Amino acid sequence: MKAVQVSKAGGEFEVVERPLPEPGPGQVRVKVEACGICHSDAFVKDGAFPGIEYPRVPGHEVIGRVDALGPGVDAFSAGQRVGVGWHGGHCFRCEACRAGDFVNCSNAQIAGVSYDGGYAEYMVAPAEALARVPDALDSAEAAPLLCAGITTFNALRNAGARAGDTVAVLGIGGLGHLAVQYARKMGMRTVALSHGPAKEALARELGAHDYIDTSAGDPAEALQALGGARIILSTAPNSAAISAVVGGLGRDGCLLVVGVDGAPIEVAPLQLIPGRHSVGGWPSGTPKDSEDTLDFSARFDVLPRIETYPLEQAAEAYDRMLGNQARFRVVLTMGG
């Protein structure tokens, strides 16, 4: 099979021929149809994640069809369409798993990080990492829902906002353009925030009721003028921009971060105390959460805007993602 691997930390993407991987006990071989390129793939490319063994095939936004079942797998059948996201498997034995908290499994695996992922014609994954994919979704469009989609959908649905509450989405990129659609379709009064006026038309097209250009004034004041936000979902990888909106929270408001920046977020205690505000984070979710994301997306017509590239052009596609040029998610497709 053809695969795209990185053979050392900081190495280039290499298109290579590899033997077809065989599924072991509890594993499934997936014939990959599409794999999204995520900013987190940089962990593999740059070696910025502990314990990665090289060569490694990245990719954790995978849609494909079950191709072969390892011993003991009976929950899936050949030809069935499935997805693999960031959460790439769990042990069922540790304390977190015994409490049903698979995301925090002490032995959690990450697809495309702990084992080879979806930048390939085939991949092998543990059966518990697979999500079922609704027929209504196109494979290339469904792929980004397994990371960008589940992260924003799951964060929003667990954030405690109710229909009619104000949800502000900071950053209208790969995650944010999905978050705006989810918030709107979940019944929220939806506000999009982005630097500059360029994203306004798109944000409104995606369902935003209001748009705040964060470069045009104090974004916190602008949010307060709209009554304050019950949830500010920050998808922006920019802690200074995040700190600037904390003052836009309304009563019992929560700033929820899903975009990563190394710098600290600055919050003064008095920004939190009177309005009972909180700051939190949310990590994607389980394969069941992926299924819920895919089902919701299919029913309510939430789709990512994507650019597709053939597998062989992974390096070019990755650079487009990294250079912030992609509108809005880049997806590799495996011809035929």
**Binding region for Zn ion (CB under 5 A):** 38, 40, 147
Q: How far apart are CA 265 and CA 288, in angstroms?
A: 31
- Closest by CA to 308, choosing from 300, 297, 293, 320, is 320
CB distance 143 to 84 below 8 Å: no
With contact defined as beta carbons under 8 Å apart, do 197 and 221 qualify? Answer: no
CB-nearer residue toward Zn ion: 85 or 250: 85
Is the CB of 38 or the CB of 156 nearer to Zn ion? 38
Shortest Cβ distance from residue 31 to Zn ion (Å)?
21
Q: Least distance in Å: CB of 303 to Zn ion?
A: 17
List C-alpha distances in Å: 25 to 42, 75, 195, 313: 30, 13, 49, 33
Instruction: For Zn ion, give the closer residue by CB, 147 or 229.
Output: 147
Q: How far is the CB of 118 from Zn ion (least distance, A)?
A: 11
**Residue 17: how many CB atoms within 10 A of its CB?**
7
Count of alpha carbons within 13 Å of 324, Cβ hemisphere only? 5
Between 40 and 239, name the residue whose CB sits nearer to Zn ion: 40
Cβ distance 115 to 125 under 8 Å?
Answer: yes
CB of 102 to Zn ion, least distance (A): 17
Q: How far is the CB of 154 from Zn ion (least distance, A)?
A: 13
> What is the Cβ-side half-sphere exposure of residue 17, based on CA atoms within 13 angstroms?
0
Tell me which residue has tokens 């982005």.
194
Q: Give the tokens for residue 121.
A: 């014609």
* Residues near 217 by beta carbon (within 8 Å), at least 6 away in sequence: none
Measured from the CB atom, the residue of 173 and 248 that comes closer to Zn ion is 173
Instruction: Write down the least CB distance from residue 335 to Zn ion, Å.
Output: 23
CB of 147 to Zn ion, least distance (A): 3
Which residue number, 21 or 144, has a Cβ lying nearer to Zn ion? 144
Residue number, 46 or 205, with CB nearest to Zn ion: 46
- In angstroms, give the least distance from the CB of 223 to Zn ion: 28
Please report, for residues 101, 274, 277, 279, 295, the alpha-carbon distance to residue 268 in angstroms, rounded to integers and kept in the order given: 32, 12, 11, 11, 40
Nearest residue (CB) to Zn ion, 21 versus 117: 117
What is the C-alpha to C-alpha distance for residues 8 and 185, in angstroms, rounded to an integer?
43
Q: Among residues 58, 240, 22, which one has the least CA distance to residue 147?
A: 58
